[in-house]
Structure 1
Amino acid sequence: MARNSFFKFKQFTVQQDKCAMKVCTDACVFGGWADIESAEHILDIGTGTGLLSLMAAQRNINAKICAVELDADAFSQAKENIEYSPFANRIEIFHTAIQDFLSSGKFDCIISNPPFFQSDLRSPDAKINQAHHSDSLTFQDLLNAVNRLLTQTGRFNILLPVEEGIFFQELAEKSGLILIRKLTLFHQNGKKPFRSLMVFGRGEYADNRLVSDDLFIYDDDGKTYQSKFAELMKDFYLIF
């Protein structure tokens, strides 16, 4: 996906020139796939450009959404993207770390595309490090926030690289969250999977029968979008 200064969707536009984390295909898939459609109150942890909040607002016309972002520039850009969208009256954005975020109520859905690299080489750009590396939000910090803010029957959605996803699942289960739905994302058949999209529920309320699926972005030619991918993104991408 091209890294332009903005990305135009069918119902909204995401400006991204101030954000280290740009609009990317895996985040768009996550926004179209996440279990948000029956939720009334959604929390977006680390909203970045505001992409996931905007996609959630489009998919669920009744939900109220709180978006939390630590980085000042990303917060400013997400706020602008939300204000210029058709969903501004249903999304509220907060400039704070999730560790410090206070809410009068809990959320029946939480979504997060968090900083995920545990040990990869650092970039010279501090903002890129904060966006990609887990120093400012460790997996345990994230799980603590989820357990504090998720309702008993709520669902927690997260996007991670495959290896980090395995590690995160182990930590989540130790904290009482059970994996109930999973999508493994591939560029195309024959390539290694590169992202895990996961939905967790609290152990005592989660159905232990895991629903798992694979999604390929491209057909075998590496150029034509796979039909399942096109179906998932048709309400968002201008090309479909």
Structure 2
Amino acid sequence: MGKNSHFQFKQFTIQQDQCAMKVCTDACVLGAWTDVDNADRILDIGTGTGLLSLMIAQRNTYAAIDAVEIEAEAFFQAGENVHESPFKGRIQLYHEAIQDFESEHQYDLIVTNPPFFQSDLRSPAEKINRAHHSETLDFAGLLNAVKTLLKAEGRFSILLPVEEGIQFRTMANEQGWQLRREMTLLHKPDKKPFRTLMEFQNQPSPVLQVLTETLNIYETNGVTYDPKFRMLLKDFYLKF
């Protein structure tokens, strides 16, 4: 998915010709999976094309959403996508690093699809490096930003590759964050998991039961979409 210059959803369009990070299936899953209930103020860290902010605005019809993006081309393209959407009145974009971002508000929910390829071979294209690698935002910096900006009773959701997810979960646990929900994403049942989606909160609860689930994009034949995947994305994908 996501090689075209734009991607059409049911209620909005994502232009992506200026962005290093295109629309991808795992990001769409994060946008549809994240718990957006009872969230009046939401922060999207590293918004890219604006995809997560727009998906969340569609699902939560009242929240004010702030979206932060450091890469100039992505910031301006996100602005274009938001402006052309039905949700432009509720999404505010900021062109800066999350480490420098200051808000007069704290947030009920923070969502992020961060740079995560901490050890992969680097691309010759610098903006792709910034989008994929953690040189501008490592896990410690991300957790520090979230701790500052999230309400005490708030929650945050993150998407990572499986190995990086293990590292992040360990670091988050060491800092007192508690895992509430986790989804493991597979292309199909006979393949290895390739992404982990996690939701954390900052208020430990000894009786909290972590909700864990697995999602396959396709059935075993690799062609037919899994019914659970179709149900999750049915409000967004035209094909569903």
- Shorter-normalised TM-score: what interval? over 0.9
Correspondence list, 1:1-240, <5 A:
1-204=1-204, 208-240=208-240
Do the aligned residues in 2 keep the contact of 1:21 with 1:48 (CA within 8 Å)?
yes
2:64 is matched by which residue type in structure 1? K
Distance between the aligned counterparts of 2:173 and 2:207, measured in 1? Answer: 14
Query: Which residue identity does 2:236 align to in structure 1?
Result: F
Q: Is the 1:108–1:150 Cα contact (8 Å) retained in structure 2? A: yes
Per-residue Cα deviation, 1:28-82 (whole angstroms, up to 9, x for no partner): 0110001112211000000000000000000000111000000000000001100
In 2, Cα distance between equivalents of 1:180 and 1:163? 19
Q: Secondary structure at the match of 2:213?
A: strand
CA distance in 1, matches of 2:90, 2:27: 21
**Change beyond 3 A, Cα 1:125–1:207:** farther
CA distance in 1, matches of 2:62, 2:38: 9
The 8 Å contact of residues 178 and 208 in structure 1, kept in 2 or not, is answered as no
Shift of 1:117: 1.1
Q: Provide the TM-score with structure 1 as the length reference.
A: 0.98
Could you tell me which amino acid in structure 2 is paired with residue 63 of structure 1?
A
4+ residue runs over 4 A deviation: none
Following the alignment from structure 1 to structure 2, what is the Cα–Cα distance between the partners of residues 206 and 4? 47
| Identical columns (%) | 59
Q: Does the 8 Å contact 2:152/2:203 carry over to 1?
A: no
Kindly state the Cα deviation for residue 206 of structure 1 after the two structures are TM-superposed: 7.9
SS at match of 1:144: helix
Matched residue of 1:105: which SS? coil
**Which residue identity is paired with 2:148?**
R
Residue-by-residue CA offset, 1:72-109 (whole Å, 9 max, x unaligned): 00000001100000000000000000000000010010
Label 1:39 to 1:206 Cα distance change in 2 as closer, same or farther (>3 A): farther
Q: d(CA) in 1 for partners of 2:176 and 2:93?
A: 28
List gaps (5 residues or longer) in structure 1.
none
Q: Could you tell me how far apart the structure 2 residues matched to 1:2 and 1:65 are?
A: 24
The alpha-carbon distance between structure 1 residues 109 and 207, as it changes in their structure 2 partners (threshold 3 A), is farther
- RMSD, matched Cα: 1.0
Residue 204 of structure 1, CA deviation: 2.9
Pair 1:226–1:76, CA change in 2 (3 A): same
| C-alpha deviation, 1:203, in angstroms | 3.5
Per the alignment, in what secondary structure is the counterpart of residue 99 of structure 2? helix
**SS at the partner of 2:28?**
helix
Hey, what's the Cα distance between the residues in 2 that align with 1:177 and 1:214?
22
Equivalents in 1 of 2:206, 2:23: separation in Å? Answer: 31
Instruction: Give secondary structure in 2 for the equivalent of 1:42.
Output: strand
Number of residue equivalences? 240
Change beyond 3 A, Cα 1:133–1:181: same
Q: Distance in 2 between matches of 1:202 and 1:67?
A: 21
Superposition deviation, residue 201 in structure 1: 0.3
